[in-house]
């Protein structure tokens, strides 16, 4: 490994930033991919970078599907889950996501909802969602879920999430509720292509209706998208 690439790799690790080391098996040529940028010997195409980014999210090392002569070693930080709304569903979702390896933050300025009694051992943010999103900066390893049913809280979070590379964005509500949400977001200048990224109603259609069942469905869909598997 060249000293320049090693220093970039060590710097990424110190910064707790995910990255991927790509090695050409034929001659040992290497590049380091971090934050969508590539540095090193290899001429990686946009298609290569897209697959590498997906592998980083899924924390999946191995030969590239597009080009088996390139081996990707992923150095991934834990995926994050930002949940807007300290509601009953969140009380079930947060511990399950933690057990699945996500770093969970619950965002809700309503202190009666977001408190340590209701969410022991969970990172809480009492900021307004747009402020929390600006501080937390969702990246390609971040999932964002809005659960309040309150446009004053959910909509600003969705606008921020849709402007980010978050790998998953989900919102609670029926199709009728989502249609109204879509109209509000369009009024705020969000494009229809961006809005199409929202999984709504949130979660896989497992048929459940209780808070715990909805939480299971949401987490299942997040994991599905993370690993790019179609069920």
Give the per-residue pLDDT at 37: 84
User: What average pLDDT does range 121-145 have in this prediction?
Assistant: 95
53, 39 contact by CB (below 8 A): no
Domains of the chain: 3-75 (no CATH), 80-226 (3.40.50.720)
pLDDT per position as a tens digit, 60-99: 899 999 999 999 999 988 899 999 999 999 999 999 999 9
- Cα dihedral angle (27, 33, 38, 43), rounded to 10 degrees? 30
Measured CA distances, 123 to 83, 96, 226 (Å): 10, 14, 22
Rounded to the nearest integer, the mean pLDDT of the chain is 93
Q: What angle do CA 106, 108, 112 make, to 5 degrees?
A: 110
Residues of the chain above pLDDT 90, percent: 81
Distance CA 51, CA 42 (A): 15
Mean pLDDT value across residues 126-134: 97
171 CB contacts (<8 Å, ≥6 apart)?
A: 145, 146, 154, 158, 178, 181, 198, 199, 200, 201, 202
Give the pLDDT of residue 198.
97
- pLDDT of amino acid 229: 55
What is the dihedral sign for C-alpha 125, 177, 170, 182?
negative
Phi then psi for 124, rounded to 5 degrees? Answer: -115, 140
Whether 231 has a pLDDT exceeding 50, the answer reads no
């Amino acid at each position: 490994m060249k000293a320049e690439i090693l220093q970039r790799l060590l710097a990424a690790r110190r910064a707790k930033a995910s990255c991927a080391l790509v090695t050409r098996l034929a001659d040992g040529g290497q590049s380091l991919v971090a934050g969508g940028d590539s540095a090193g010997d290899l001429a990686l195409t946009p298609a290569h970078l897209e697959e590498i980014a997906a592998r980083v999210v899924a924390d999946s090392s191995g030969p590239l599907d597009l080009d088996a002569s390139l081996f990707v070693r992923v150095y991934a930080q834990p995926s994050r889950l930002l949940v807007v709304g300290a509601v009953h569903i969140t009380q079930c979702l947060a511990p399950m996501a933690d057990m699945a390896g996500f770093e969970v933050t619950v965002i809700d300025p309503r202190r009666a909802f977001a408190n340590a009694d209701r969410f022991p051992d969970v990172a809480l943010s009492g900021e307004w969602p747009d402020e929390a999103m600006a501080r937390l900066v969702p990246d390609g390893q971040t999932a964002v879920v809005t659960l309040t049913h309150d446009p004053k809280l959910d909509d600003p979070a969705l606008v921020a999430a849709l402007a980010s590379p978050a790998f998953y964005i989900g919102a609670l509500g029926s199709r009728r509720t989502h249609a109204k949400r879509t109209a509000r977001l369009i009024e705020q200048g969000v494009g229809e292509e961006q809005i199409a990224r929202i999984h709504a109603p949130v979660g896989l259609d497992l048929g459940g209706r209780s808070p715990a069942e909805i939480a299971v469905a949401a987490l299942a869909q997040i994991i599905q998208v993370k690993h790019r598997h179609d069920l």
